[in-house]
Amino acid sequence: MQAPRSIRSVALVTVTAAATIFLIQACGGGDATAADDVGEAVEGAWDSSVTVRNCDTGAVSGTFRGLLAIHRGGTVSIDTSAPDHPLRGAILGSWKRGTGPAWTVDASHFRYNADGTLAGTNKIRRTITLSADAGSYTATLDVRILAVDGTQLARFCPTETASRMTF
């Protein structure tokens, strides 16, 4: 037996409303705003400049630009103009509040060989110090290059400066 048309309509409206409420909450809607929590001052879109350095000597081996999206709820999406870009996957991670104006961002991505096979992963820890006006930050990074089996192949200690993206 088929349900009457009015019951199906009510069910459809109810499911649609529930899905809409879920989507609004998942996208950061609801009662909370960034101004409600100082710990969320780092959220937003950032344009950065990264200087790659040797961890032992501090010698500079290159620079590149980066874009970071630090999302409400603790996730991060990153893209860069680094020379290895065509041979790596998306950079994804999470962030958490540290002490004072500091945050920690942990991220990773896959690396690929030229033939498309998996070469390993990069693990990146970024320690951000936010400026007093929350419009810029400086950061130190700890980048570990890992083989497929998890063996560390190399390590770099870049520095970074960033400002909020404006349009």
Q: What is the DSSP letter of 32?
A: -
Burial of 105 (0-12, 13-18, 19+ CB in 10 A): buried
> What is the per-residue pLDDT for 83?
81
pLDDT given for residue 2 in this prediction: 53
- Assign 20 to helix, strand or coil: helix
* Maximum CA extent, the chain: 77
Supply the pLDDT for residue 20.
Answer: 35
Which H or E run contains 25? helix 5-26
Q: Report the C-alpha gap between 75 and 77 in whole angstroms.
A: 7
Span 36-164: which CATH code? 2.40.128.120
User: pLDDT (tens digit, 0 to 9) for every residue of the chain, 167 residues total?
Assistant: 554 544 444 333 333 333 333 333 444 444 444 334 444 789 999 999 999 999 999 999 999 999 999 999 999 999 999 887 779 999 999 999 988 889 999 999 999 999 999 999 999 999 999 999 999 999 999 999 999 999 999 999 999 999 999 88
Tokens 């520095």, residue located: 159
User: Which H or E run contains 26?
Assistant: helix 5-26
* Nearest one of 58, 57, 76, 59 to 68, comparing CA atoms: 76
CB 47, CB 161: distance < 8 Å: no
User: pTM score, two decimals?
Assistant: 0.74
